Amino acid sequence: MTTQLNAYIQSEDARAQAAFYMQALGGEVHSVMTYGQIPGAPEENKDKVMHMVLSVAGGNILFLADSPFGASPSGRSVSLSLTFDDEAKARQSFEKLAQDGTVKYPFVMQSWGAYYGEIEDKFGVNWMIVKK
């Protein structure tokens, strides 16, 4: 039996957030389902994303959805960790995710022998970038 854990991010604009992550980390949208595809969905929510599957950073899967009931809570309670084998790719992803966000800890060599940095991106999601 295979067990898989995926981050599921509620968003005010899942499409914009997905586009940002694809630009910063590479990747693609695999599927999008809107609330309008569900019978009886309120008209004001018909174009909102109910479920989006996105691969980033070499095939890691994220799920995103628009909050249909107004502003969603910030992603601050969740941290996503990406580990790279290549320092240049790790540094590039760190810099791109930091655009319009906040660097919480710079991407530098740590005492345990790996590069590490933390960012809160412009959507409020915390990222830990590691180069092992």
pTM value is: 0.77
Q: Which architecture characterizes domain 75-131 according to CATH?
A: Roll (3.10)
pLDDT digits (tens, 9 = 90+) for 68-124: 655 555 545 567 888 899 999 999 999 999 999 999 999 999 888 899 999 999 998
Q: For residues 90 and 99, is the Cβ–Cβ distance under 8 A? A: no
Give the span between the Cα atoms of 23 and 45, in whole angstroms.
26
CATH number of 7-66: 3.30.720.100
Q: Which region holds residue 97: left if phi is over 0, alpha if psi is between -120 and 50, else beta? A: alpha
Give the whole-number percent of the chain exceeding pLDDT 70: 88
Q: What is the pLDDT of residue 26?
A: 95
Q: Residue 51 pairs with which residues in a beta bridge?
A: 33
Average pLDDT of every residue of the chain: 87
Domain-by-domain residue ranges, the chain?
A: 7-66, 75-131
Classify the C-alpha dihedral 98-99-101-106 as positive or negative: positive
